[in-house]
Amino acid sequence: MIGNAETIIKWLFTQDRDAVFEVKEHKAKRSLNANAYCWSLIGKIADRLRASKDEIYLKCLKLYGQSEIVSVLSAIDVRGFFKYYEPIGTGHVDGREFTHYRIYKGSSEYDTREMAVLIDGVISEAKELDIETLPPHEIERMKQKWNRSCKRENTVTSAEGQTG
């Protein structure tokens, strides 16, 4: 359910008292058009460079995406835990070796702002390879649509976050 605090609380009072619920902040989702456009350009870049779409996607995540750094015992194989990652170093704590990884967030987890940054980067990569992109006014129109969506979601989210 999505709604402000008052609506959610009223709804919760109508539910089974023994049920368990998770409440989390609602974040703006990226537009399907944004995702389709991003993958279209990634495909064209991959074709031009004779690379796979996944290779280009990971390159773009590394250059323009969101990431975190985690440390894991070196004996642990992280392939089953993270999809997009790279080792960046090692360290020792209490005689145990840890490998430090940069973990990249996949675009399916991006909000509107994060997706806009990624697409700007993908557009830049495409232009460097003389791949035709949408005209600037179309890109701006898409961004305005993302911004309106984000502002609308943030207004609802701000109302949800208020207490009193």
Residue 9 pLDDT: 80
Domain count for the chain: 1
pTM over 0.85: no
3-class DSSP state for residue 55? helix
Q: How far apart are CA 97 and CA 100, in angstroms?
A: 10
Q: Is residue 110 part of a domain?
A: no
Among the listed residues 37, 10, 1, 46, the one whose alpha carbon sits nearest the alpha carbon of residue 146: 37
Structural domain span for residue 99 = 71-104
Please name the residues in contact with 76: beta carbons below 8 A apart, sequence gap of 6 or more: none
Measured torsion, CA atoms of residues 76, 80, 84, 89, in degrees rounded to the nearest 10: 0
Residue 124 pLDDT: 96
Residue 48 pLDDT: 97
Q: Is residue 83 part of a domain?
A: yes
Residue 128 pLDDT: 96
Q: Is residue 66 part of a domain?
A: no
Residue 150 pLDDT: 57
Residue 164 pLDDT: 46
Q: Is residue 20 part of a domain?
A: no
**Exposure of 2 by Cβ count < 10 A (0-12 exposed, 13-18 middle, 19+ buried)?**
exposed
Q: Token match 């609380």: residue?
A: 9
Q: Is residue 4 part of a domain?
A: no
Q: Is residue 137 part of a domain?
A: no
Q: Is residue 95 part of a domain?
A: yes
Q: Is residue 64 part of a domain?
A: no
Residue 32 pLDDT: 53
Q: Which segments in the chain show pLDDT lower than 70? A: 1, 25-32, 143-144, 146-164
